[in-house]
């Protein structure tokens, strides 16, 4: 049964990025985002397009656990990758230089066309033979004795030697080829797109090797207008549901109602304050006035309708059934408002039929000081109850106002940036969100092993990425915009803040007996602190107007 009206204006909800900056425990947020359920991508850097590469080759030994995104993360990722690649290149000098041609590709990626000279291929071939000699026990030859080339190749098998040589060439030359993208390549985004069988064939015939690599790089942001974030003019819409006074009145009324006993109404029809058990059905009304199709989302059996909550339903619904008695039925037509959450029903006229099954009223006790402790444990008077609830609601109102402000600022700066999102960045961010969603689902209900396996499958993750593409992309743009502002404006936070929040986060992981990577935790905490500083900086300089709808 879905008769609630959804406003088309911006709501004061918390988006995943904003909530991790200032309104929640950083430790709790990191624990959620690092869920075990997540089906992570493999860590292998080399993936042939035909999927037949048997052994993962890790020339940079890059771990998936080291990846981090958001804020300035991609910038630091590239720096880390550059340091690792530089160390490998220094340790292993090639006998000749590679020929590397760089071409810009879509979604903040580049394609590297690599030509490996014959002398480098021959050097790799000799290394492979040496390794096979060390590992093989060939009849007629003592250990560590030099074995003729044709003998070792015949013993191991030419296809295996050929495959091992191509893998060796790739493993050894890839870090050198990556020098052209030093400082901007993203970890775990490197893919060799050339077919492995074709590389084997080319090497066997020409004794040289050429291959192509695609790698995601740090995306470049363009502000429109340039530096526009320095002079933001923000309009924040606040719903009356966060108004402290009204919220206090609602809470007090709910607590009071919970103390009353429900009694059957026998001598009258439905009045405001009653609770009715009703069946609802609805059909569309065509332009000619004839009955159209059924509306499943507006149908319900045994719906418990609290008339005091009638303003949250379809406008006119409550007024149309006032006076109905138990056992009676009423039919009436209503029009779905333009703010209705289902676009296909907005403005649609519909015919409703309501059958009243049971009707109850609340037999409420006298509201006086004697109920204070029942309304709010620890309180002795109604005045104390009201004051305590008012204080709580005021705190909630202020927090909701701050959250709405941050949401509006993030939404504003997101629209001011133009950037191509790397696919690896999109996938990793999406998997983090999906992991958090799985945690939420499991927190609300006990999942069986079969259900958990189904929800954490690659198919389920891919479906989530497809359906939530726009939302994921928007939050990545926000993160990148925040990171760019932090860098541009030379913002800082104290070392004490970082140490404290890292300790809190690790405590959260230990509390839930969850494995964690301390380096990863530190990096993510740093990004969250960066985001908080940026939002604080933007709020201080923005012109903010609050309106209540």
**Residue 508, pLDDT score:** 87
Burial class (CB in 10 A: 0-12, 13-18, 19+), 261: exposed
Query: Rounded to whole angstroms, how far apart are CA atoms 365 and 248?
Result: 20
User: DSSP states of 104-169 as a string?
Assistant: EETTTEEEEEEEE-HHHHHHHHHHHHHHHHHH---TT--TTPPPPHHHHHHHH-HHHHHHHHHHHH
**Residue 44, pLDDT score:** 28
Q: Which of 358, 365, 359 is nearest to 255 (CA)?
A: 365
**Residue 9, pLDDT score:** 35
Asked if residue 444 belongs to a domain, the reply is yes
* Residue where a domain stops, chosen among 187, 220, 253: 220
Q: Tell me if 30 sits within 8 A of 19, measured CB to CB.
A: no
Query: Rounded to whole angstroms, how far apart are CA atoms 213 and 152?
Result: 32
CATH number at residue 454: 1.10.3120
User: DSSP states of 254-309 as a string?
Assistant: HHHHTTSEEEE--SS---TT-EEEEEEEEEEE-TTS-EEEE-GGG-EEEEEEEGGG
User: In this structure, are 26 and 141 located in the same domain?
Assistant: no
Asked if residue 333 belongs to a domain, the reply is yes
Asked if residue 400 belongs to a domain, the reply is yes
Query: Rounded to whole angstroms, how far apart are CA atoms 186 and 476?
Result: 15
Residue 394 bridge partners (DSSP): none
Q: Residue 298 carries which DSSP code? A: G
Q: Tell me if 272 sits within 8 A of 322, measured CB to CB.
A: yes
Residue 410's domain comprises: 16-39+224-240+390-548
Asked if residue 453 belongs to a domain, the reply is yes
Place of tokens 């939302």: 471
Q: Give the end-to-end CA distance of the chain in Å, rounded to a whole number.
A: 26
Q: How far is CA 46 from the centre of its chain?
A: 26
Q: Which of 211, 179, 208 is nearest to 193 (CA)?
A: 211
Which residues are within 8 A (CB) of 297 and not within 5 positions of it... i.e. 6 or more apart? 1, 2, 342
User: In this structure, are 76 and 25 located in the same domain?
Assistant: no
User: In this structure, are 397 and 478 located in the same domain?
Assistant: yes
Mapped onto helix, strand or coil, the DSSP state of residue 433 is: helix
Q: Which of 109, 111, 86 is nearest to 217 (CA)?
A: 109
- Digit-by-digit pLDDT tens for the chain (549 residues) are 555 443 333 333 333 334 444 444 544 544 444 433 333 332 222 333 333 332 222 222 222 222 233 344 454 445 445 555 566 666 778 999 999 999 999 889 999 999 999 999 999 999 999 888 887 777 767 766 677 888 888 888 899 999 999 999 999 999 999 988 888 888 788 899 999 999 999 999 989 999 999 999 989 999 999 999 998 999 998 877 778 888 899 899 999 999 999 999 999 999 999 999 999 999 999 888 888 889 888 888 999 999 988 777 888 999 999 999 999 999 999 999 988 888 888 889 999 999 999 999 999 999 999 999 999 999 999 999 999 999 999 999 999 999 999 999 999 999 999 999 999 999 988 998 898 888 888 877 778 888 888 888 999 999 999 999 999 999 999 999 999 999 999 999 999 999 999 999 899 888 888 888 888 888 889 989 999 999 999 999 999 999 887
Q: Tell me if 70 sits within 8 A of 523, measured CB to CB.
A: no
CATH number at residue 326: 3.10.50.40
User: In this structure, are 70 and 211 located in the same domain?
Assistant: yes
Query: Rounded to whole angstroms, how far apart are CA atoms 420 and 219?
Result: 6
User: In this structure, are 464 and 429 located in the same domain?
Assistant: yes
Q: Tell me if 113 sits within 8 A of 258, measured CB to CB.
A: no
User: In this structure, are 198 and 213 located in the same domain?
Assistant: yes
Q: Tell me if 330 sits within 8 A of 320, measured CB to CB.
A: yes
User: In this structure, are 189 and 278 located in the same domain?
Assistant: no
User: In this structure, are 265 and 358 located in the same domain?
Assistant: yes
Do β-strands 275-285 and 300-306 pair in parallel, antiparallel, or remain unpaired?
antiparallel
SS3 per residue for 345-409: HCCCEEEEEEEEEEEEEEECCCCCHHHHHHHCCCCCCHHHHHHHHHHHHHHHHHHHHHHHHHHHH
Query: Rounded to whole angstroms, how far apart are CA atoms 458 and 442?
Result: 18
Q: Which of 160, 180, 176, 173 is nearest to 209 (CA)?
A: 173
**Residue 71, pLDDT score:** 40
User: In this structure, are 71 and 177 located in the same domain?
Assistant: yes
Q: Tell me if 199 sits within 8 A of 46, measured CB to CB.
A: no
Quote the Cα angle for 310-316-321, to 5°: 75
Which residues are within 8 A (CB) of 258 and not within 5 positions of it... i.e. 6 or more apart? none
Quote the Cα angle for 234-240-243, to 5°: 95
Please tell me the total count of domains within the chain.
3
Query: Rounded to whole angstroms, how far apart are CA atoms 434 and 37?
Result: 9
Number of H helices, E strands in the chain: 17, 14
Which residues are within 8 A (CB) of 469 and not within 5 positions of it... i.e. 6 or more apart? 426
Burial class (CB in 10 A: 0-12, 13-18, 19+), 191: buried
User: In this structure, are 356 and 444 located in the same domain?
Assistant: no
User: In this structure, are 531 and 431 located in the same domain?
Assistant: yes
Asked if residue 371 belongs to a domain, the reply is no
Q: What are phi and psi of 335, to 5 degrees?
A: -115, 130
Q: Which H or E run includes 261?
A: strand 261-264
User: In this structure, are 413 and 518 located in the same domain?
Assistant: yes
CATH number at residue 101: 3.30.70.1050
Asked if residue 346 belongs to a domain, the reply is yes
Q: Which of 221, 220, 233, 307 is nearest to 270 (CA)?
A: 307
Asked if residue 368 belongs to a domain, the reply is no
Asked if residue 44 belongs to a domain, the reply is no
């Amino acid at each position: 049964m879905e008769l609630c009206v959804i406003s088309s204006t911006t709501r004061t909800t918390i988006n995943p990025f904003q909530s991790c900056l200032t309104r929640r425990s950083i430790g709790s947020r990191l624990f959620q985002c690092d869920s075990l359920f997540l089906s992570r991508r493999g860590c292998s850097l080399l993936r042939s397009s035909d999927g037949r590469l048997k052994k993962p080759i890790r020339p940079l030994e890059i771990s998936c656990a080291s990846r981090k995104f958001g804020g300035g993360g991609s910038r630091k990722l590239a720096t880390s990758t550059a340091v690792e690649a530089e160390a490998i290149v220094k340790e292993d000098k090639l006998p000749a230089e590679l020929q590397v041609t760089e071409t810009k590709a879509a979604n903040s990626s580049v394609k590297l066309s690599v030509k490996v000279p014959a002398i480098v291929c021959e050097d790799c071939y000799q290394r492979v033979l040496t390794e096979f000699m060390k590992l093989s026990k060939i009849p007629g030859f003592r250990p560590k004795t030099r074995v003729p080339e044709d003998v070792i190749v015949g013993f191991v098998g030419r296809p295996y030697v050929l495959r091992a040589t191509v893998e060796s060439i790739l493993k050894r030359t890839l870090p050198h080829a990556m020098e052209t993208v030093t400082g901007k390549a993203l970890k775990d985004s490197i893919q060799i797109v050339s077919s492995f069988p074709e590389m084997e064939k080319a090497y066997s015939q020409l004794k040289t090797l050429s291959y192509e690599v695609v790698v995601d790089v740090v995306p470049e942001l363009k502000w429109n207008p340039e530096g526009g974030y320095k002079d933001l003019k923000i309009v924040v819409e606040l719903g009356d549901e966060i108004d402290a006074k009204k919220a206090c009145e609602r809470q007090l009324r709910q607590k009071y109602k919970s103390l009353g006993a429900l009694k059957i109404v026998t001598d009258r029809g439905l009045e405001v304050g009653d609770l009715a058990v009703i069946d609802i059905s609805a059909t569309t009304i065509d332009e000619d006035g004839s009955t159209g199709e059924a509306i499943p989302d507006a149908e319900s059996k045994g719906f418990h309708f609290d008339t005091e909550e009638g303003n949250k339903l379809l406008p006119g619904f409550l007024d149309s059934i006032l006076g109905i008695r138990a056992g009676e039925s009423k039919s009436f037509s209503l029009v779905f408002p333009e703010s209705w959450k289902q676009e296909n029903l907005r403005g649609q006229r519909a015919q409703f039929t309501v059958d009243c099954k049971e009707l109850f009223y609340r037999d409420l006790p006298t509201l006086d000081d004697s109920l204070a402790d029942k309304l709010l444990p620890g309180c002795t008077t109604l005045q104390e109850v009201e004051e305590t609830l008012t204080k709580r609601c005021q705190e909630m109102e202020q927090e909701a106002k701050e959250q709405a402000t941050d949401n509006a600022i993030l939404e504003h700066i997101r629209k001011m940036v133009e950037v191509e999102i790397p696919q690896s960045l999109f996938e990793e961010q999406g998997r983090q969100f999906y992991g958090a969603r799985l945690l939420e689902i499991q927190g609300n209900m006990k999942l069986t092993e079969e259900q958990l396996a189904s929800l954490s499958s690659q198919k389920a993750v891919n479906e989530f990425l497809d359906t939530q593409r726009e939302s994921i992309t928007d939050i990545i743009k926000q993160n990148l915009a925040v990171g760019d502002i932090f860098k541009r404006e030379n913002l800082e936070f104290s070392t004490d803040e970082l140490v404290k929040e890292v300790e809190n986060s690790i405590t959260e992981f230990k509390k839930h007996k969850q494995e964690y990577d301390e380096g990863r935790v530190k990096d993510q905490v740093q990004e969250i602190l960066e985001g908080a500083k940026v939002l604080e900086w933007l709020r201080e300089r923005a012109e903010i107007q609050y309106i209540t709808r």
